[in-house]
Amino acid sequence: MTEKLRLMAVHAHPDDESSKGAATMAKYVAEGVDVLVVTCTGGERGSILNPKLQGDPYIEENIHEVRRKEMDEAREILGVQQTWLGYVDSGLPEGDPLPPLPEGCFGLVDVEEAAGRLVREIRSFRPQVVTTYDENGGYPHPDHIMTHRISMAAFDGAADAERFPEAEFGPVFQPAKLYYNQGFNRQRTEALHEALLARGLESPYGDWLKRWEESERTERTLTTFVPAADYFEIRDKALIAHATQIDPDGGWFRIPMEIQKEVWPTEDFELAKSLVETSLPEDDLFAGIRDNG
């Protein structure tokens, strides 16, 4: 492969890039791959989840600015590039029935218009690989679902000069592969749960697995397992940089690092589209691309 390898990760909010595929991005950065995170919203309606920062009037009044600064710090830690698509966080509606989404939010935008913004980024950056969320958003947040919808539209649309004219959106480009982040999968959760119990340790996953059993949730097909254990510490450091969202003493960090690395040393993805030949399972998002340059 003579052409520079480039990976684009499309995420809904600041902090999503650090909780989904962050170690994989850090690994590729270390290998010389150019990595760009596209953040669709500013995370303005995200709750302050870190109990140590709840009730801080400055944070509450300046949450947009605070979350941008957190994103800057996480970006530096991961070594990636990052850009904002410019939409407003929809928030996570709660209640029965669910309230309507707020006017002007990302979850209500025209898919084609938002896909056009992402097409500009794809045509400018020219990534061979794009990662995003599956049709359920990973979980049913309206911004995650919209991120999926515009990513699918832009993956194909970036190569369509009639749909997105070059004069407005830049020279056409077709990425080769599209993946869904599937880090929170049942196989990994069960493996870590059993490993903790076998060592006489408490597992935080018991209730998760019980809800999984009771739900009718369809299991996703994992196709790609990227060895990334050497970058788990960087992943956690980037996640902690999103201080309003992550409690460093909370549940994200209950699994001892040595157990994570031993039991499940990969980050996992689902290959959704590929325009190159590849053999499954993969251990590289660029499988089929490195040898075809």
Q: Digits of tens for pLDDT over the chain (293 positions)?
A: 558 999 999 999 999 999 999 999 999 999 999 999 999 999 999 889 899 999 999 999 999 999 999 999 999 999 999 999 999 999 998 887 888 999 999 999 999 999 999 999 999 999 999 999 999 998 889 999 999 999 999 999 999 999 999 999 999 999 999 999 999 999 999 999 999 999 999 999 999 898 888 887 778 999 999 999 999 999 999 999 999 999 888 878 889 999 999 999 999 999 999 999 999 999 999 999 997 65
pLDDT at 292: 67
Q: Is the pTM of this model over 0.85?
A: yes
Q: Is 72 annotated as a binding residue?
A: no
* Separation between Cα atoms, residue 5 and residue 247, nearest integer Å: 35
pLDDT at 293: 53
Domains contained in the chain, CATH given = 6-184+221-292 (3.40.50.10320), 186-219 (no CATH)
Q: Is 144 annotated as a binding residue?
A: yes
Buried b / exposed e across 21-32, counting CB within 10 Å, b at 16+? bbbbbbbbbeee
User: How many CB atoms sit inside 10 A of residue 256's CB?
Assistant: 13
Helix (H, G, I), strand (E, B) or coil at 41: strand
Q: Are strands 266-274 and 224-227 parallel, antiparallel or unpaired?
A: antiparallel
Q: Is 16 annotated as a binding residue?
A: yes
Phi/psi region, residue 138 (left: phi>0; alpha: psi -120 to 50; beta: rest), is: left
* Separation between Cα atoms, residue 132 and residue 155, nearest integer Å: 10
Instruction: Collect all residues with Cβ–Cβ distance below 8 Å to 165 and sequence separation of at least 6.
Output: none
Q: What single-letter DSSP state applies at residue 65?
A: H
Angle between helices 232-241 and 63-78 (to 10 degrees): 160
Helix (H, G, I), strand (E, B) or coil at 130: strand
pLDDT at 2: 59
Q: What single-letter DSSP state applies at residue 106?
A: G
* Separation between Cα atoms, residue 248 and residue 251, nearest integer Å: 8
